[in-house]
A and B are shown apart, each in its own frame.
Chain A
């Protein structure tokens, strides 16, 4: 049989020529398989080029920033007293508005000569994040959500919280009390890397 009949019969052609003289394609022609693999490669490359950055956009965490925020002059905090100090959190976006205006509880303890001693607590309860309220009459922080209670030094007094209040990293600079801008604190991502935090007293 001629070449065309051979192809129809499923036999590999011997690479002979069409009556007009052009080479006939066959089932295992190198050009066809080349184009198949080229297409697969092009598709893979395109998919990766588009896919990797797009997926990266969704999952890449942001760089951690360390911003210091001033809470005001040290002398505005009285010894033996706890009060709320409010500030605009620089970790927010420019369009956050009043949502970035948060507070921390600052307690000034009696310090030694020339040294300031502060306890700075995040306002979020260590249980599930609701804002605790300071009651100076009884020296307790109380959480409205599930009744968690903390003592004046931030340690856990009673209720469902598994630990004491989250401590903020603070320093004094030029007579001002400054804190590291607090990200949202959770049990596995505290504000101090768990160096200074008091574990729950059971």
Chain B
């Protein structure tokens, strides 16, 4: 039986010649250091690829049921969630493996940067890698649109408004993005084609190139302090090392890849099974109130950066800044393709990584909490704290009613509860005199900054009650 199988495999291989190509690839020598503990730093690229494979398989599975039509996408997603056997699991896995892939790609990129593996002769590998990062993020972004819920709809609106700011070409770019004059079926079809055909095509081509380059240049040795990269001597030294002490990749090195990939898959599957599918948050009904679209988590930092910046800088941050970032990333190996590789000898590189991640973390947190958004139901849903209405005169109590009724609470918190668009007013009586309060409320922020002018909306009786209430907001004695 085994003999038969072996004969069949030999028959195919004699004609296809695959083993002559694949086996040398698997056995190609890698520096000995990778077989040791340092080899664990090398596993993140293959983990990204494993998750990509998972995404392709789950993506195909979802495409067997999902209908990319504006009037049926939501129903097909509900079917996947509730009727299709294990459909909920495929949906969850597709989302969390996708998130995992973004994480792995970023970790892989950071490791390559910190260990100087992008230096000579692997500069092109890094450049192709940046293209792969862009494709991965593009898949994440287009995938969110396919959920076709109010978040996706309004996310497209925001994207369209951003595209509309491109000088001169704005309306054309909006038309290309939305596929038509309004957000609708054309938009969904377009993003489906992008997510399933265009970006995967680019991604797989770039991946093929990336793997070819790795095989061509060989895997880099673990960096050693005091052994800088010198393009004149590197090639000879590398091949000498491989000849003297190289080990086949299909050995300790590959085993580490397999173990870590397996671990990542287990984690991702566990999260998917426990947390379940992501969204849709509701049918794609533009008239549903309470819309507050958020980009997906990899983009929250950019969302926060934009929201925290002065309006004059917005168009620059939307249109120019991401291009500059991409160019900076692409230029890394062109700027420093020689010299020390070990992080212990590259304080600037380490500092840059720490600073960038700290910034990204802080901005992501801000993006998740988004204090610049008013709380649209605070005026009717958050009661005035009891301590603020105890032992108050009737006019002050009336002022509290006016404060809620005029929707002030949507932007101004009391005792930390309410909107955070404007300052918390719990102790505003210690900061502004009654006259200053009248001025601020009537005229808003001078120059039309953050607060509108309520002069016409509040009659004199309401104004004096409101100011009375606010002037008595002081810390408890």
Contact = CB atoms under 8 A, between A and B. Distances in A.
A64 B165 CA distance: 20
A140 to B, nearest CB: 6
Given A99-B285, A138-B406, 11 more contacts: A89-B184, A95-B71, A97-B185, A97-B284, A98-B286, A144-B291, A144-B376, A146-B373, A157-B444, A186-B171, A187-B165
Contacts of B452: 140, 149, 151, 157-158
Interface string B356-386: 0000000000000000111010010000000
12 contacts: A96-B71, A97-B284, A98-B283, A98-B286, A102-B287, A138-B405, A145-B293, A145-B373, A147-B372, A160-B311, A187-B165, A189-B170
Given A61-B175, A144-B376, A98 B284 contact: yes
Interface residues of A, number: 56
Interface in B147-169: 153-154, 157-158, 160-165
B292 A186 contact: no
Contacts of A93: 70, 180, 184-186
A99 B172 contact: no
| 5 nearest CB pairs, A to B | A97-B71, A186-B164, A157-B452, A129-B157, A183-B181
A9 to B, nearest CB: 42
Interface string B56-73: 000000000000011110
A101 B172 contact: no
A184 B177 CA distance: 12
A189 B407 contact: no
A92 B170 contact: no
Given A129-B161, A158-B452, A188-B164, A138 B407 contact: yes
Interface in A41-69: 59, 61-62, 64-65
Nearest to A127: B161
A91 interface: yes
Most interface-central of A129, A183, A187 (chain B CB within 10 A): A129
Interface of A: 59, 61-62, 64-65, 84, 86, 89, 91-93, 95-103, 123-124, 127-131, 133, 135, 137-140, 142, 144-147, 149, 151, 156-160, 162, 182-184, 186-189, 200-202
B76 to A, nearest CB: 12
Interface in B67-101: 69-72
Given A145-B373, A189-B171, A184 B71 contact: no
B111 interface: no
Contact of A158 (B185, B290, B449): B449
B21 to A, nearest CB: 33
A158 B450 contact: yes
